[in-house]
Amino acid sequence: MDNKSIREEVQKLADKLSQELEARYQWNGDRLEFERSGASGFIAIGENNLNIELKLGMLLSPFKGKVEQSISEYLDRHLV
């Protein structure tokens, strides 16, 4: 899968996060940065990998596993 296709799938994920979690996002080069009250992070598209960082505030930290799992499952389904 080329970087353009990967970027399109990451964009779809961002749209989903925006709808479901009321997250705001913006692209900074090949790095999608997202933020909402109590959470922030990024997805960076590398040459042969994706780097994902998710920071959750105290109120959302109990949901970290579920959020990470949802992101991973989405990317696994759409990028493999």
Provide DSSP, 3-42.
Answer: HHHHHHHHHHHHHHHHHHH--EEEEETTEEEEEETTEEEE
Residue 58 token pair: 């105290």
Residue 39 token pair: 């959470």
Residue 58: phi and psi, rounded to 5, are -55, -40
Q: Can you tell me the distance from the alpha carbon of 62 to that of 12, in angstroms, rounded to the nearest whole number?
A: 25
Structural domain harbouring 39: 3-79
Q: What is the pLDDT of residues 10-57, one digit of tens each?
A: 999 889 888 887 889 999 999 999 998 998 999 999 988 889 998 999
Q: What is the mean pLDDT of residues 66-78?
A: 85
Q: Can you tell me the distance from the alpha carbon of 54 to that of 74, in angstroms, rounded to the nearest whole number?
A: 15
Residue of 52 and 3 predicted with greater confidence: 52
Into how many domains does the chain fold? 1
